[in-house]
Amino acid sequence: MSEQTLESGAHVAGSSGDALLVVDDVTLRFGGVVALNEVAFEIRRGEILGLIGPNGAGKTTCFNVMTGVYTPTSGEIRFDGDRVSGVKPHRINAMGIARTFQNIRLFPEMTAMENVMVGADARHKTSVMGTLFRLYRVKAKEHELPDNPLKRSLAKVFGISRHTLEERAGRQKSMEMLRFVGIADRAHELARNLPYGYQRRLEIARALATEPKLLCLDEPAAGFNPAEKADLMNLIRKIRDKGQTVLLIEHDMKLVMGVTDRLVVLEFGQKIAEGLPEEVARNPKVIAAYLGEPDDAAQA
């Protein structure tokens, strides 16, 4: 399997890295509807790949098969050499894929902070027994010791429970993520009460907190004004600069051109083009697909 991955990564000229995720002739049918038809492409380590196409092209469906929501009818998906298709969503997350949703799906009755902490929890281990009895102890490092002298000496002797350390680390990481996406000022509001733009960013923070290798963003800028969109694209670049790979679905062609390294174009569940943004923009099939989609401008 690793051989194949190498191979598919090898014939890519001037790539930023080897293939992180390979979509290998994936077909997905819903009854009579063929949502994806033998779609094949790859995402290379460290790039921002844009996935574009008119409404109903199958972009979101593509995310859904990648994150385990659906299992492909045929074909398979490999991530970092391991098979993804057929694996449970939470296992796929553990492998290193995180995503946001086109129609925002936060945990509305939890605060922004808690939403992100659920993401951070994905990297933690403490479960019911560990929380209840706290017998799993870790030797405390100097900076982890509490200030209170009594607690301090206790922690020195008995160590600190893994639960406590994980909670603390999770809280810190979540706060960092909220700051990173720029919504830390409303960290303690219920997600349902946050303004739309904050909710979109919160989804990104929550996904980032799971420490993904691959971050999939499903129209993260939908409904944003141009200034907000520019902001968001900066954010996406920053994420990439930190070493993560990004897969971006976006309707706004102009926007996508500016930020992505490569593009994959879907139409009616089929890949119709792939390549550098400039190439794709000149591709007659792509132009036709987008011209045949008159309300595209309105989508922006």
Ligand X SMILES: Nc1ncnc2c1ncn2[C@@H]1O[C@H](COP(=O)(O)OP(=O)(O)OP(=O)(O)O)[C@@H](O)[C@H]1O
Site for Mg ion in 59-78 (CB under 5 A): 59-60
Q: Write phi, then psi, for 100 (nearest 5 degrees).
A: -115, 170
CA distance 269 to 62: 9
Which position among 8, 102, 270, 283 is part of the footprint of Mg ion (CB under 5 A)?
Answer: 102
Q: 79: which 2 tokens?
A: 């991530």
Shorter beta-carbon distance to Mg ion: residue 56 or 197? 56
Rounded to a whole number of angstroms, the minimum distance from the CB of residue 111 to other proteins is 6
Q: Candidates 21-29, 55-63, 254-262, 289-297: pick the segment binding Mg ion (CB under 5 A).
A: 55-63
Q: Candidates 53-61, 189-197, 226-234, 240-248: pick the segment binding ligand X (CB under 6 A).
A: 53-61
The one of ligand X, other proteins, Mg ion, none whose footprint includes residue 56, by CB under 5 to 8 A per kind, is: ligand X
How many residues bind to ligand X according to rule CB under 6 A? 12
Residue partners of 248: CB distance under 8 A and separation at least 6: 48, 49, 50, 51, 217, 220, 236, 256, 259, 260
Which position among 44, 59, 163, 262 is part of the footprint of ligand X (CB under 6 A)?
Answer: 59
Rounded to a whole number of angstroms, the minimum distance from the CB of residue 291 to ligand X is 16
Q: Write phi, then psi, for 208 (nearest 5 degrees).
A: -65, -30
CA distance 293 to 286: 11
Q: Candidates 4-12, 51-59, 71-79, 121-129: pick the segment binding ligand X (CB under 6 A).
A: 51-59
Shorter beta-carbon distance to ligand X: residue 136 or 268? 268
CA distance 235 to 151: 41
Query: Would you count residue 57 as binding ligand X (CB under 6 A)?
Result: yes
CA distance 1 to 95: 16
Shorter beta-carbon distance to other proteins: residue 224 or 290? 224
CA dihedral 105, 111, 113, 116 (to 10 degrees): -20
Q: Candidates 58-66, 67-75, 236-244, 262-270: pick the segment binding Mg ion (CB under 5 A).
A: 58-66
Shorter beta-carbon distance to other proteins: residue 127 or 149? 127
Q: How many CB atoms lie within 10 A of CB 97?
A: 27
Q: How many CB atoms lie within 10 A of CB 59?
A: 25
Rounded to a whole number of angstroms, the minimum distance from the CB of residue 33 to ligand X is 5
Shorter beta-carbon distance to ligand X: residue 116 or 265? 265
